[in-house]
Each structure stands twice: as structure tokens, then as C-alpha cells.
Structure 1
Amino acid sequence: MARVLVTGFITIDFIAHVEGFASTAVPEQASDLDVACGGRAANQAMALTAIEGEVSLLARVGTDEHASLLTEELLEIGVGTEFVQQAPSPTGIRLIAEQADGERQVTVFRGANDFLSVDDLNRRAEAIRSVDAVGVTTEPAGAVALRALEIAGQGNIPTVLTHGASAKPVSDRLLANASVVVTSDTTCSGLLDPGVAKEHPEAALRALVQRGATAVVLLTATRALLATADDVREVASPGRLDTEDAVDAFVAGMLQGLAEGEALEPAVLRGVRTGCLLVD
């Protein structure tokens, strides 16, 4: 069976469901509160189990009760946690205010995630090179994400680099080491200008290819755009692909396709189907 390894952040998410976002003067009252396993890498690993993929997560948690809750939840749904290590810090937390339309305001406490290091990856190099596809996120330090891509590249393992909204820029070297880079037009800050991504997506993608990316996928509300040095192709989607959850589900499907030996475009098609299947 094809195997996937994903590395990046894992957090415990506290999600408050609200009608609107609070002003500085008036607190917003939440109608409900959910507690869930989160972080982009953990989300992708969980989505892979939902499509019956075999996946392990390489990440850091703390030594608190949140760490136990997260690892137990991952194990229960079938995510391999043999590479989830404890760090001398509280487990990462995300505080999320979410409206009914899916729009979010997020505050992140990185916590134990900041202990994910190049040494962690070097110690797991053999395991990384033994799988069939590797997912990496831009959540950790750039050197950490780069090392994961480099190790996978040494074994000719296909890689997917997922970018989420961030204030920190993504280096050309990081882009060049990924088989494919994935982002959405709502979560691309730090990689693309969101306004340009929405108004001129093809041009934005070509700019990333010119920076050294082998292939880039931009997800929108209605389609996936795949850019390579040859052209920009479009895959229509019956459902939204631009939310964080949809992006992570898309990446899970794409990783599974690549792990099973699919070429890039069929893997993108699988990603679109998975994104629509797993996200309402």
C-alpha cells in the first residue's frame, strides 16, 4: 500500500462559532465551541486517513494533557504517530473565531511546534526516503521545511509544499525543491499578493514558476489552476477549494495520487475530488 509522510504543525484548536467578529469595544458572543486537532500538517494527515490512505505525521507536541488528547485522536483515526515527539513547551494552540460562511480570525500559539528542527528531520531521513510521497507545510522555519524537501528529493520522492497565509516570505530555494507548491487565493499572503492572485491568477502563477517552482497549484472558490513551465491548466470544481480545510483535503488527495504513482494532472484531479468530498 502507498505510504505518505506529512511534516509540519499540529495544534489543539478552540473554535468559537460567531455571527461576526468582535470590535475592540464590544466582545462577540459565541453560539458554540468546538475543540479539535488542528495544524496544517495534522489536518492533511487526518484527511488522508479519511480516504483510506496510510500516513504518518512528523511533528512536535508538548508534555501536557493537550498532547495526549491529540496523539490519542490521531491514533484512533489511523494516523501513525511514531514520529510525533514531545518538546519542553506547551502544545501549540489555535484560537479561532469562525463565521457561518467559513471566514475565520485566527490567533496561533506555536508552542512545541517551534521545536521541530532540522535535526529531527535528519534523524528520520531513512523513514522520509522510504515512503511514496511527502507533504511539507511552510508553517515551520524555512530551514526545517527545506530540509524535509531535500531529504525526500534525495530519494526521488514526490513532494507537495503547502503554503498558508503568513507574514514571512517563502524563499526561491524552498519553491525549487518541491515537486509542486499548493496555495489558495485567500491564504497566499507571504507567497503571492492576494489581490493579484484573485485578479490575475495566471500571471501570479507564472511568476512563481519563473522563481524556480516546478509546478504550482492555486485553489479558488470554483477551480484549481495548475501552472508548469509549459502552460497554465484549469480544473473546474463543483465545490469551494479556497478555505483552509478544503486546501488541506485537496493536498491529501493529491499526495495519495502521487504516492500511487499518478502523474501531476491526474493527482490534481484527485485532489479536487477529495477537497469537495471531505469539505461541506
Structure 2
Amino acid sequence: MPDIVVFGSLNMDLVVRTPRVPDAGETLQAHGFMTNPGGKGANQAVACARQGAAVAMVGRVGDDAFGQALKTSLEGDAIETRHVATAPASTGVALIMVDDSAQNRISLIPGANAFVGDDDVARLQDDLAGARLLLLQLEVPMESVLKAATLSHEKGCSVVLNPAPAQVLPEAMWGLLDMLVLNETEAALLCGFAVGDLDSATRAADALHRRGPPRVILTMGGEGVVVCDATGCRHFRALKVNAIDTTAAGDTFIGALCASLARGEAIDAGIALGIQAAALCVTRAGAQASIPHRADLQSLAPVDRPTTVTVR
């Protein structure tokens, strides 16, 4: 039985490395191109598995070469794919442009992910019985995500949501969440004010925590991570690395965190592991190709103990 069930998206990423973003109407010679298995759901499943968790994936692909390649890739990380169904559409695709500053810009074609629905929620029944966590994102229909969260909550399985791409959440979702993990952009949408530094991130995490989730974790890239829970708000500093590609860094952080929690480790230990995993991820190119294994992290510096931050 899985420790973690991931209900979400699977995409094939088509990645172009380019010096900068072309201007409108401009043709710019790129450095290279590659295809790479991706999708926030699949990325997070891989990140969980590579940190030692037993993982099951629930989602949809198309009846095409990309779909079969995505399932085969997941199985290569020992992820259970029997509930990855085929949809009457092409497999989801993400067009990703990565510039020389390691920033990415993504255009997403949902494809089969748009067909995730009630049948897929029903497939969760067996896997949730012994799982510790259900991990959700928003690259599949919101209605299906809400139904999956409701089912998991009823079965006593913890619900973790990464609200990406950024969307307003249904009011019914807030009371179902055990943990909310998000970045500054997503936090700003949900809070209604800009999030760009430690003070605003702390205020945002605290405000979201007060809406219901017992744990809110807000990632700020190179500025670290803020967590707000019953013990207060804390700030973890990021590790300094030479980033070449930030694709899948957030997914890597979430997967490592969830794998740690599934092992029964404390939340602060899980956040430290997530920071290490994300730091190594951004030094590599690609989505799933860049996600590290647990053994890879042994060479990294430890994460500093968090400092308490006050909500202002």
C-alpha cells in the first residue's frame, strides 16, 4: 500500500533553453531542446518516491506515445500507475522556455488532464485506505480536486494542497486541508495583497493559517521558507547554490517534505529536507530529470535552524 497518493497532472515537457525571452515578432536562436516527463502531479510523485516514500499516482494521459512514456517513467521510480487512466484527448503538454538567468516561462496545454473526474476520484478509494497523505495540485479540474479532498478527509487521510497554478479556492476546500504549501504568487492571490519579502510572507502565511489549514508553508525561492502552525511562525533560510534551471524546484520541495512527514518526522525536519532537495534540483536542468534522490542530499550543507518571526 502507498504511503502517499498523488492525485493530479501528468505532462510531457518540451523545454527550450534560450539566452533570453524573445521580443514580440523576434526569432532568437536557442541553446538546445529536450523532452522531459513533467506535470506538477507527476513531478511531486517522483519527488516523494526519490525520497523513499511508497507512492501511487492517480490521473490521466492520452492514448499516444507521450502518455505511455510518462507511465513508463513513473514506473521507473517504482510509482504505482494502475490508476493512471487514458482520456479521449492528447496527453498534456507544457512548453517551457528557460533563459540564461535560470528563470522559466511555461505555457500549459491540459489535454488529458482536463478529463480527470468522478471515475478518477472513485479510484482513490483503495489507495487511501492505508495512505498517510493525499497530495493535490490544481492542474486538473477544481471540482475533482475538491471531491478528492473530501473523500480523503472522510477517510482520515491527511490532505496536502499545493494551489498551483494559482486559483481562488472554493470555500469548502479550506476546512478539508491539513497542510497548504504555496509560493508568493499563489499566496498573493489567496490573501489579496502583494507578497515579496519576509514580513509580507509571514503575514500571508498567518492569514491563510487562520482560514483553517493547521499548517501553512510559504516558499520564497532564494529567500527561504516561512511556516505558520499552532506553535507560531518560523523562517528557514535557503541554501545558496548556483541555479541553472528552477523548473520543478517547488515540486521537489513539496515531495521531499511529504516523504518526510509520511515517515513520521517532525515538520521542521521535513522543511529542512525540502530545502536541501530544492537547492540541488535548481543546479540541474529539466523537470523530473532534475529531482534528486535521498542519497544525493548527503553532500549538501545542513539547513540552519529556523528563526521565530512575528506577524506585524
| TM-score for the superposition, normalised by structure 1 | 0.90
Q: Secondary structure at the match of 2:81?
A: strand
Q: CA deviation at 1:30?
A: 1.5
Alpha-carbon distance in 1 for matches of 2:40, 2:104: 15
1:173/1:266 CA distance change after superposition, 3 Å: farther
The C-alpha deviation readout for 1:230-254, integer Å capped at 9, x for no partner, is 5211122214799452211111111
Cross-structure match for 1:251: 254
**Contact residue 2 and residue 256 of structure 1 kept, 8 A:** no
Q: Secondary structure at the match of 2:96?
A: strand
**Contact residue 181 and residue 217 of structure 2 kept, 8 A:** yes
1:205/1:188 CA distance change after superposition, 3 Å: closer
Q: 5 Å matches for 1:1-280? A: 3-166=3-166, 168-186=167-185, 188=187, 190-192=189-191, 195-198=194-197, 200-220=200-220, 221-239=222-240, 243-280=246-283
Q: How many residues align?
A: 279
Alpha-carbon distance in 2 for matches of 1:128, 1:36: 29
Alpha-carbon distance in 1 for matches of 2:16, 2:162: 25
**Contact residue 249 and residue 278 of structure 2 kept, 8 A:** yes
Amino acid at match of 2:161: L
**Contact residue 58 and residue 123 of structure 2 kept, 8 A:** no
**Contact residue 222 and residue 239 of structure 1 kept, 8 A:** no
The C-alpha deviation readout for 1:25-57, integer Å capped at 9, x for no partner, is 212222100101111010011122322322111
In structure 2, runs of 5+ residues without a counterpart are 284-312
Q: Secondary structure at the match of 2:248?
A: helix
Alpha-carbon distance in 2 for matches of 1:122, 1:228: 32
Q: CA deviation at 1:262?
A: 2.5
The C-alpha deviation readout for 1:93-124, integer Å capped at 9, x for no partner, is 11111113221221111010011113311232
Q: Secondary structure at the match of 1:29?
A: coil
Q: Secondary structure at the match of 2:37?
A: strand
In structure 1, runs of 5+ residues without a counterpart are none
Alpha-carbon distance in 2 for matches of 1:194, 1:16: 33
Aligned-pair identity (%): 24
Higher relative contact order (CA 8 A, sep 6+): 2
Alpha-carbon distance in 2 for matches of 1:100, 1:187: 25
Amino acid at match of 1:35: T
Q: Pairwise CA RMSD of aligned residues?
A: 2.4
Alpha-carbon distance in 2 for matches of 1:160, 1:248: 13
Amino acid at match of 2:87: A
